[in-house]
């Protein structure tokens, strides 16, 4: 039998593997700092410009905190598009300024700068907005969009939950009861798995459902800090496999790289069979599960997530009126057809230059419209808090902004301009305070 210390070590290694794999796969996880820093700035503090205005990008390069000399390469482009300007700049006392740049249509303009120092390449970027509030989605809503999802959810309603809870003793204590849970979804024998945390100090609680980013994930086996605040927390995964398998953690990485590799493309040519139909249905089924719990107060329910999870949070709130509040960070799956209209589309970039060769076909384009978060945002009625960064390379801000602009429900926004595909602690604090205030009345 393995010792507890050995199991803890294996879990630590798994977490490191998952984080590093995500970073390698999607290019960003959080800000990192190196001895050489390439800083790209814009001449307006908020990085927001009107059409016809000029932006002056400037570059500062430091090594161990001191300015350095040398040459840098720069590229300027609408994000994810081909460069409209590029060249080489000579640094003087570690600094250089580029020629003025403009945009004639609403969108985001990115300046990316690279430097080679001692054989290593260092990069910095700044992305500025031009009339971003005027960005209009490229995707359209099918006439039967709402009927399609009503029918899907009606069919799923007839599938019994058949839920099972297994207590996780090592995470349970005098404050929380924690369970590995599963409940049936989409068809008989198909399940959604997750980890449920229930406070012990009280009898009825509000609830928060957490939906996952892209990939194949286990549970990290740490107590949920939100549950410790006094709310039920259900942290789900979408692929129908257990999320607590101490002796078989390697299976998640193997599934990600094999059977579930590129799952976001599975059956994209058929709206009835596309992979995310089961996923979106399962997120709504999670609401059924929460309402089945005797500890839930039956009134206060929120949902939160980032990236793919940011998309799923919007989808859930749009499809199920029992969701009261949502938090969506740098959401994916927004305005997928952007690439077919000469600008960036959302993750998973189904129709970009690389993937469009396989997927830019009428049947797949039409299927995408039934799953594009823009169309769920159009029918959203739930108050939400949103955040993202202009430097996001995984979920381009053009795609997110086009979605945000069509929301008519109450909405609040936090932008950290230079953030990539992550949230700064300051953003996380804002979203936490917002959802805590809504669900449990505290900051």
Which residues are catalytic, by number? 307, 392, 421
d(CA 335, CA 141): 11
The length of the chain is: 443
Are the CB atoms for 160 and 204 separated by under 8 Å? no
Q: Which tokens in the block code for residue 401?
A: 């902004």
Cα gap 20→32, rounded to integer Å: 13
Give which of 352, 393, 400 is closest to 372, Cα–Cα.
400
What tokens were used for 439? 């669900």
- Beta carbons within 10 angstroms of residue 119's beta carbon: 5
Cis peptide preceding 348, ω within 30 of 0:
yes
Nearest to 30 by CA among 422, 434, 366: 422
The alpha carbon of residue 183 and the mean position of all alpha carbons in its chain are separated, in whole angstroms, by 24
Give me 122's structure tokens.
């260092």
Contact 78, 344 (CB under 8 A): yes
Residue 173 CA to residue 195 CA, distance in Å, equals 15
Q: Tokens standing for 265?
A: 């493309």
| Peptide linkage before 141 cis (omega within 30 of 0) | no
Tokens 């050995």 correspond to 6
Give me the phi and psi of 376, to 5 degrees please.
-75, -35
């Amino acid at each position: 039998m393995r010792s507890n210390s050995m199991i803890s070590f294996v879990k630590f290694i798994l977490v490191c593997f998952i984080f590093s794999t995500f970073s390698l796969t999607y290019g960003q996880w959080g800000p990192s700092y190196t001895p050489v820093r390439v800083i790209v700035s814009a001449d307006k503090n908020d990085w927001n410009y009107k059409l016809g205005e000029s932006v002056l990008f400037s570059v500062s390069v430091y090594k161990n905190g001191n300015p350095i000399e040398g040459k840098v390469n720069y590229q300027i482009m609408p994000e994810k598009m081909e460069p409209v300007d590029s060249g080489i700049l000579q640094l003087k006392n570690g600094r250089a300024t580029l020629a003025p740049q403009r945009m004639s249509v609403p969108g985001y303009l990115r300046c990316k700068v690279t430097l080679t120092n001692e054989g290593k390449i260092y990069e910095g970027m700044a992305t500025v907005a031009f009339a971003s509030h005027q960005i209009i989605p490229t995707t359209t809503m099918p006439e039967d969009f709402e009927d399609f999802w009503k029918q899907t959810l009606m069919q799923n309603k007839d599938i019994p939950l058949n839920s099972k809870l297994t207590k996780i003793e090592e995470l349970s204590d005098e404050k929380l009861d924690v369970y590995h849970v599963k409940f049936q979804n989409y068809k008989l024998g198909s399940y959604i798995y997750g980890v449920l945390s229930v406070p012990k100090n009280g009898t009825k609680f509000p609830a928060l459902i957490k939906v996952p980013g892209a990939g194949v994930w286990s549970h990290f086996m740490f107590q949920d800090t939100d549950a410790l605040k006094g709310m039920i927390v259900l942290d789900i995964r979408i692929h129908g496999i257990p999320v607590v398998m101490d002796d078989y953690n390697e299976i998640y990485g193997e599934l990600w790289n094999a059977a579930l590799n590129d799952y976001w493309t599975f059956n994209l040519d058929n709206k009835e069979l596309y992979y995310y139909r089961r996923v979106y249905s399962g997120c709504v089924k999670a609401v059924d599960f929460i309402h089945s719990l005797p500890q839930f107060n039956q009134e206060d329910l929120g949902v939160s997530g980032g990236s793919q999870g940011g998309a799923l949070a919007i989808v859930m709130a749009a499809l199920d009126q029992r969701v009261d509040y949502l938090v969506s960070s740098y959401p994916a799956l927004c305005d997928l057809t952007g690439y077919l209209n000469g600008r960036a589309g959302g993750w998973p970039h189904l129709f970009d230059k690389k993937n469009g060769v396989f997927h830019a076909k009428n049947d797949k384009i039409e299927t995408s419209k039934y799953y594009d978060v823009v169309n769920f945002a159009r029918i959203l009625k739930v108050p939400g808090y949103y955040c993202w960064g202009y430097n996001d390379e995984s979920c381009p801000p053009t795609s997110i902004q086009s979605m945000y602009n069509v929301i008519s429900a109450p909405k609040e926004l936090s932008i950290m301009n230079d953030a990539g595909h992550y949230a700064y602690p300051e953003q996380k604090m804002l979203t936490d305070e917002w959802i805590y205030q809504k669900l449990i009345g505290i900051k």
